[in-house]
Amino acid sequence: MTTETNVKIAIRDLSVYYDKKQAVHSLSLDIRAHEILSVIGPANSGITTLLRSLNRLFDLTPGSRTEGDILLDEKSIYGPDVSLTELRRRVGMVFDVPTPLPMSIFDNVAYGPRLKSKKARGSVAETVERSLRMAALWDETKDRLKMPAASLSGGQQQRLCIARVLALEPEVILLDRPCSGLDPISTAKIEDSLTLLKKQFTIVLAPHNVQQAVRVSSRTAFMLSGRLIEEGPSTEVFSDPKDRRTSDYITGRFG
């Protein structure tokens, strides 16, 4: 098997189960470095499960079971010498609802860096500022870093969550419907940040609608009932889908 050098994550024949129920069916997919890959599909398609498999957060779910393999930089993330904390720092995750921890804005962003040893973390204050700037939240928060994160608006909270992931200095960022509860203006701000972040990170996005995938992603994968139906450059998937189910979904015939 030849893997191109720019493949960041290679999903190989992945099957994921909750107890008896299978959520992902032998799925194979390459995620390239510095691209935004959108994974689209109706609810219960296994997209969240797939994303949570990529940083092994899925392992926390009782009764979960995984078959197949996921390679990050050509190394299996299920290998015996893999450190889960290290993996989750390299593959950061933003959840579908803003999930600020009940602490200040600063402490939220500093949460990840502070988990590292004193030597490894460097200057936390600098990391926090850099991360908030990258998430386009610095100007709004620089004068109230000590305020509770819950005092921010929903859109700001979600950008805070993005900043919190950026503070980990990750290689891959997973975003699971990050704009599902947000107004169009906040959504636009987050989409702008994503486009900027693409230069430095590999981004896997579960968009909350098809239009978002069109706007921000370079490639798109369509999933249905835990199976990968089709994937390719976004322009091709949306203008000339090969599978009828894909075209039915993106034209809004179901979903």
The conformation of residue 247, written as its DSSP 8-state character, comes to H
- The answer to whether residue 101 forms part of the interface with other proteins (CB under 8 A) is yes
Cα gap 8→182, rounded to integer Å = 30
- Residue 40 contacts residue 221 (beta carbons within 8 Å): yes
Least distance CB 211 / other proteins (angstroms)? 27
Quick check: 16 binds other proteins (CB under 8 A)? no
The contact pattern for other proteins, residues 191-220, with x = CB under 8 A and - = no contact, is: ------------------------------
Nearer Cβ to other proteins, position 107 or 231?
A: 107
Pick the closest to residue 39 from 249, 193, 254 (CA basis): 249
Assigned token pair, 132: 């908030």
194/113 Cα distance (integer angstroms): 22
According to CB under 8 A, which one of 159, 164, 189, 208 is a site residue for other proteins? 164
- Among residues 3 and 151, whose Cβ is nearest to other proteins? 151
Q: Decide if residue 241 touches other proteins (CB under 8 A).
A: no
Q: Are 118 and 107 in contact (CB under 8 A)?
A: no
* Shortest CB 39 distance to other proteins, Å: 18
Q: Considering the complex, what minimum distance in angstroms separates the CB of residue 111 from other proteins?
A: 6
CB 245 within 8 A of CB 63: no
Spell out the residues 6+ positions from residue 6 whose beta carbon is closer than 8 angstroms to its own. Answer: 32, 33, 34
Chain-centre distance of CA 155, in angstroms?
Answer: 17
2-10, 102-110, 190-198, 235-243 -> range binding other proteins (CB under 8 A): 102-110
Instruction: Tell me if 35 contacts other proteins by CB under 8 A.
Output: no
Min dist. Cβ of residue 126 to other proteins (A) = 18
> Of 18-26, 32-40, 86-94, 206-214, which part binds other proteins (CB under 8 A)?
86-94
What x/- string results for residues 117 through 156 when contact with other proteins is judged by CB under 8 A?
-------------------------------xxx------
Q: Is residue 111 at the binding interface for other proteins, with CB under 8 A as the rule?
A: yes
193: left (phi over 0), alpha (psi -120 to 50) or beta: alpha
Using DSSP's 3-state secondary structure scheme, residue 225 falls into coil
Question: Least distance to other proteins from the beta carbon of 62, Å?
Answer: 7
Please name the helix (run of DSSP H) or strand (run of DSSP E) that holds residue 173, with its range, or none.
Answer: strand 172-176
Distance between CA atoms of 164 and 158, rounded to whole angstroms?
Answer: 10
Chain residues that interact with other proteins, rule: CB under 8 A: 55, 57, 60, 62, 85-86, 88-89, 92-93, 95, 97, 99, 101-104, 107, 111-112, 114-116, 148-150, 164-165, 168
